[in-house]
Amino acid sequence: MTSIPDSSGIPDVFPLEERQAIYRAIYARRDVRHFREDQIPDQVLARIIKAAHQGPSVGFMLIRDLDVRNQVKELCEREQQATACYYDEPRRSHYLSLKLEGIVESSVNLCITYDPTRAEEVLGRNSIRETDVYSTCCTVQNMCLAARAEGIGVGWVSVLKMSQLRKILGIPHHVIPVPTSASATRWNI
Amino acid sequence: MTSIPDSSGIPDVFPLEERQAIYRAIYARRDVRHFREDQIPDQVLARIIKAAHQGPSVGFMLIRDLDVRNQVKELCEREQQATACYYDEPRRSHYLSLKLEGIVESSVNLCITYDPTRAEEVLGRNSIRETDVYSTCCTVQNMCLAARAEGIGVGWVSVLKMSQLRKILGIPHHVIPVPTSASATRWNI
């Protein structure tokens, strides 16, 4: 990490130790696929989700039900199999050996959603439709950094079909899940 | 902000003070439109951009040229005028009175870009095309949080037409600018 000299003279700068902490979280964040068996205390999970919500407003689904999570996991496995069809050996076997999710091993899954029909006029969205997605991803990154600081592992899950994820989670057609955040969290190992 | 009790027992958790610093940055981040006149020291700017790059790889353009920035500013003004046409009074006047960018007052503009043609096969992108955008936005949020900690104001600029921004900045057609990050940075006031 870059060493951080004192930025004396800049108003409203965080103290050195606080800046170092923020850089540490940014530098140490990783996608996690292997999880410990501990449960996440509710107050830790609440802090992470509250921090995420300091980004723009989106929907949050917490999925603890093992049957639902098994269905999502199966979705990922099918998708990984389907994607592998496009690769030749030895790449195909290598791809199939990759662990791309930790949906069931984790203690909780999160699916972050946004509803583009919710407001007719949103500043910025008149010009760039995708600002919906931008907002959602800022929320996800807030969550990932807060989780990293809390010692909670988070893994984005993007190897699945949105339409089928919607069906499993009961998400209406007009609401967009960011399935990269149908994530699995537990302590890092 | 939620008070943070000690999460004793969680391995790899950051110390209380470090977690507080990260939550502080997340909670205190704002879109900034009014800027001081100071220049940003190069090493501070470098730290922020390096932190942003801990997200997935994207392109960064630093725009200091005042003529170019004036062209981008004009683009935003036209877009604001065009958007106002859809509103009736008194909403129209209110919308036109909003300050939606600080492109020229700031000391530097940043445009973050991604090139969806760069790699044929990217994990996850086979299933969800938008993971490109997801990655780019994580980078932007890293940058915003690092900047907040450094006392640097950042404002996303999304009221403009992508195609015309491309023309002004010389960005090829196949590369996508995230113009919300054609941002203007200077000290917060």
Using a CB–CB cutoff of 8 Å, tell me whether A5 touches chain B: yes
For range B94-122, the mean pLDDT:
83
Nearest C-alpha in B relative to A101:
B124
Tell whether the model's pLDDT for residue A131 goes beyond 90. Answer: no
The pLDDT value recorded for residue B162 is 87
Tokens of residue B183, six digits: 């941002």
In this complex, the residue of A21, A144, A158 whose CB is nearest that of residue B127 is A158
Q: Which of A8, A13, A22, A144 to mutate to test the interface with B (most CBs of B within 10 A)?
A: A22
The total of other beta-carbon atoms located within 10 Å of residue B2's CB is 12
Sign of CA dihedral A135, A137, B126, A108: negative
- Residues 82-141 of chain B with CB under 8 A from chain A are 83, 86, 98, 100, 121, 123-128, 130-131, 133-134, 137-138, 140-141
> What average pLDDT does chain B have?
81
The total of other beta-carbon atoms located within 10 Å of residue B86's CB is 11
- Tell me the pLDDT tens digit for each residue of B148-176: 888 788 888 888 888 899 999 999 988 88
For range A64-82, the mean pLDDT:
93
Contact between chains at A133 and B138 (C-beta distance less than 8 A): no
Confidence of residue B4 (pLDDT cuts 50, 70, 90): low
Identity of the amino acid at B152: I
pTM over 0.90: no
Q: Are A165 and A101 in contact (CB under 8 A)?
A: no
Cα A33-A39-B19 angle, rounded to 5 deg: 80
Q: Which of A24-28, A117-121, A172-176 has the lowest mean pLDDT?
A: A117-121
Tokens of residue B34, six digits: 């009014």
Q: Are B104 and B34 in contact (CB under 8 A)?
A: no
CA distance B155 to B139: 15
